[in-house]
A = this chain, B = another copy of it.
């Protein structure tokens, strides 16, 4: 069935298109031209802003690395959460209560985001990521697939994570490994985290640093490659 075949115009808001079986409580605030795909569950008091797309079915390119997980269920948008203008939340993503997926941001399948967290404007959280509560992923930041981001982490604008040590030439037995960000750590603007690095609790990665190895708890690292300057 074509994606359009399952969408039907709804009188609830101008330009609203709904798939089958969408849960959409009466008090959800709806912008214009919103699209909500089949089966999506939206919590009370949520906001779906202009032109956002929620529950987009997963269609993977043949060569994509994201095909390994379980087939995603519906998207879930928590009570009081916001999906911004032009944002896309893919089927199987779960957005916690009062969290914000800001304008033009993107959250992929099987990714879970806790409560009161922010995915900044234009930021991207790939598939199979675990994000805690009160996490701030600022404008334009990039959280790669299979990352782990614990509670109260701060990711500054345009920080970038990687998960593939082979840069696209994996063979059997080489897994993608996203970074692991422990509780309360902070990642500076434009910093680059290499595959699988662990950033200790309350550590601070300076702006523009390139992190090639684990960062101890509470440490400050800066530079290319990043070196510890205080602990």
Interface residues of A (CB under 8 A from B): 2-4, 7-9, 12-17, 29-33, 35, 47, 49-51, 53, 56, 59, 61-63, 82, 85-86, 88, 98, 100, 103-104, 106, 116, 118, 121-122, 124, 126, 134, 136, 139-140, 142, 144, 154, 156-158, 160-162, 164, 167-169, 186-190, 192, 194, 204, 207-208, 210, 222-225
Contact = CB atoms under 8 A, between A and B. Distances in A.
Contact of A136 (B14, B63, B208): B63
Given A106-B104, A118-B61, A157 B136 contact: no
Contact of A13 (B4, B15, B82, B85): B4
A16 B160 CA distance: 35
Contact of A17 (B33, B100, B168, B188): B33
B32 A51 contact: no
The 7 closest A-B pairs by CB, nearest first: A154-B168, A208-B210, A4-B13, A167-B186, A17-B32, A190-B192, A192-B208
5 contacts: A7-B13, A15-B15, A61-B82, A136-B168, A190-B210
A33 B56 contact: no
A223 B119 CA distance: 30
A142 B100 CA distance: 20
A15 B8 CA distance: 10
Given A51-B51, A207-B210, 10 more contacts: A2-B29, A3-B49, A9-B15, A15-B17, A17-B33, A56-B103, A154-B167, A156-B164, A162-B207, A169-B186
A88 B59 contact: no
Nearest to A82: B59
A13 B51 CA distance: 16
